Every structure is written in structure tokens, then in C-alpha cells.
Amino acid sequence: MSTELTGLPQIPAADVKKRGWRGIMRTITANGPVVVTNHSVPEAVILSAQQYQRLLAIVKENDSKSEASLQGLRHRFDERLAVLHNSDAANRLRALGKGAARLHGKVKAGTGY
């Protein structure tokens, strides 16, 4: 069983019928989400609607943060590529290609060329 599920209470699938829906919901109310197993193999997790809505809110918040981060990366990338629209960009690139690189044993990196 995955480590995320090991801490949750487990109910064999056969017990779901025995306990009935109300019994399962009492367990969920008392203990939180429940893992339903079949021959000790997890098959499902039952959780309350409120818990599910909290999970969706967390996912939505994380998606928003990820999108904002990606938008920032796109913006910085576009800013760096904007120098290629300068009128002298072609000449500067050609000049770079003509001469041999003089690195003197060092790696050269930077934001400009």
C-alpha cells in the first residue's frame, strides 16, 4: 500500500455492505477518509463532500500559483528574446559568429551577447 494511504483507516469491501452507508459515514465523520480494500489491496478512498471540496480548493490554488510562475517565466523569456528585434541584432550575431571565442579556460554565461 502506498505511504499516503497507510495512515488511513481501512475497511474491507465486504464490510461496506455490512455496515451500510450510514455506518461508513459515521466512520468517516469520526476518523476522516477511509480506504476500501479488496483482499488487502486498496481500491478506493471514501471521504466526505466537505473534505473533497477542500482538496479541490487546494488543487485550484496550486494551479493558480503554477500558472503565475509559468507566466513570469514566459515574460522573462520574451524580454530576453526581444533584443532580436533590435535593428542591429543581425549584425551583432554575425560579428559573434566571425570571431573565435576567447574564454581563457572559463565558462562565459550571461544575459546578453
Q: What is the pLDDT of residues 20-44, one digit of tens each?
A: 999 999 989 998 999 999 998 999 9
Q: Is the pLDDT reported for residue 4 higher than 80?
A: no
Distance of CA 57 to the CA centre of its chain: 14
Q: What is the pLDDT of residues 46-100, one digit of tens each?
A: 999 999 999 999 999 988 888 888 898 999 999 888 888 888 888 888 887 787 7
> Which ranges in 1-48 belong to alpha helices (H)?
3-6, 13-31
